[in-house]
Amino acid sequence: GWQERGSKSLALAGLAFGLAAGTKSTVALALPGLALAALLLVFLPGRSAAQPSGEQPVNRLASRLRPGLSRLGVILASGLAAFILFGMFIYAQNQLAYGNPLSVPQWTGELLKSDLSKSERLAKNLLLYTFQAADLTGLPAVIRQPLAEFEANLVQAAVQRLPALQGARFGRWLTQLNRILYGPQTVHEDQAWFGPLFLLLFLPAALIQAIQGLRQRDPLRLGLLGLTFGFLLTQAYVQEWSPYKGRYFVLVVPLAMPLLLPWLELRGLAGRLARWGIVILSLLVISVTVLTNYMKPLSGPNAIWKLDDIRIRTINHPSFEPVLRAVEANVPTEASLAT
């Protein structure tokens, strides 16, 4: 909607963001990237924008910025209205219940707590998020295993060469890292990211878009890149790493998908081979993931068709199974339990 004459699409975009802000407080992690994208859209009009002449420099600057500022104003106004009317409800509830708009203060403080300095945490998290973005989930074991070993050795070599990542303070996350580097290579929904296609497609496309965006002074391309990598830097700077943070990136990855356009613009034999390769690999990853997902396997010795409901519910936490079976066997159906 940014390039359209009317403001309906911009108002809808603001409305969507205001509603999204009310779904989960982690939307705040996108704010720095969104602010960077907004600055680029307003202050970088692009080569094709008309440059007023014969005016004072201040008037010329105002004329150049006015269209972008007015569009940004529509987004902010509709987004703020949607947030006040609908989105802020959960924050008001939290404030009344816990004295904190985000959540229980102790939980929020623990989430942001770290023994590392900000720079140490940023360096460590960027390394580990890059490793996890090279996600091998969905590849057949015969392909995944050697790639996982190569990836593990690469990450370990990088960790050993960074003095900031050594010492007793790093013991806790090193234990978690070694577990996912050298543990069983299972298809696990808690640790999976976006599959092998994501990094293969996204990194080359992002590089091409960055080069074209800088050459053409294109605020849309650069704004999308700013939003995407701004989110990554914010997440890496604010929160401590764990193997299960991939879900946070669900917020920004769909917004970054237009950056993959260069793959659709390939022509001739190269374009056909690329598109067929993407389709075949996608189908392979989907099939392997659906059939062998650790939490809900459809094939193999732990296929859910062979398990009862208690085993299915505790497949990710086997230690809970005897407790649930004891409750099922000894507690009457109409009884209530309390802890």
pLDDT digits (tens, 9 = 90+) for 326-338: 988 888 888 887 7
Q: Name the amino acid, one letter, at 244.
A: Y
Long-range contacts of 129-135 (CB under 8 A, 24+ apart): 129/232, 129/235, 129/236, 129/241, 129/245, 131/155, 132/193, 132/243, 132/246, 133/193, 133/194, 133/198, 133/199, 134/196, 134/199, 135/192, 135/193, 135/194, 135/195, 135/196, 135/198, 135/199, 135/246
Q: How many CB atoms lie within 10 A of CB 116?
A: 19
Flag whether pLDDT at 129 surpasses 90: no
Is the distance from CB of 97 to CB of 30 less than 8 angstroms?
A: no
**Mean pLDDT calculated for residue range 195-223:** 89
What are the phi and psi torsion angles at 187 (to 5°)?
-85, 100
Closest to 238 (Cα-Cα) out of 100, 133, 111: 111
Tell me what pLDDT residue 110 has: 63
* Alpha-carbon gap, residue 217 to 213, rounded angstroms: 5
Six token digits for residue 314: 């505790």
* Alpha-carbon gap, residue 34 to 38, rounded angstroms: 6
Tell me what pLDDT residue 249 has: 87
* Alpha-carbon gap, residue 234 to 112, rounded angstroms: 12
Tell me what pLDDT residue 167 has: 59
Sole residue written with tokens 């770290």: 114
Tell me what pLDDT residue 207 has: 92
DSSP letter at 2 equals T
Is the distance from CB of 242 to CB of 44 less than 8 angstroms?
A: no
What are the phi and psi torsion angles at 186 (to 5°)?
-100, 160
**Mean pLDDT calculated for residue range 232-243:** 85
pLDDT digits (tens, 9 = 90+) for 137-170: 888 888 888 888 888 888 888 877 776 666 555 6
Tell me what pLDDT residue 191 has: 80
Sole residue written with tokens 């920004």: 252
- Per the confidence metrics, is the pTM higher than 0.85? no
Six token digits for residue 209: 């878009």
Is the distance from CB of 315 to CB of 302 less than 8 angstroms?
A: yes
Query: In 124-260, at which residue ranges do the beta strands (DSSP E only) sit?
Result: none
Flag whether pLDDT at 46 surpasses 60: no
Tell me what pLDDT residue 198 has: 85
Tell me what pLDDT residue 145 has: 85
Tell me what pLDDT residue 74 has: 87
Tell me what pLDDT residue 48 has: 47
**Mean pLDDT calculated for residue range 191-202:** 85
Six token digits for residue 263: 């793959």
SS3 187: strand
**CA distances to 43, 55, 68 from 63, in Å:** 11, 10, 10
Tell me what pLDDT residue 81 has: 92
**Mean pLDDT calculated for residue range 12-33:** 86
**Mean pLDDT calculated for residue range 15-32:** 86
Which position has the higher pLDDT, 239 or 1? 239
* Alpha-carbon gap, residue 233 to 228, rounded angstroms: 9
Which position has the higher pLDDT, 222 or 167? 222
pLDDT digits (tens, 9 = 90+) for 288-297: 888 888 888 8
pLDDT digits (tens, 9 = 90+) for 238-288: 888 888 888 888 888 888 888 988 888 888 898 899 889 999 999 998 888
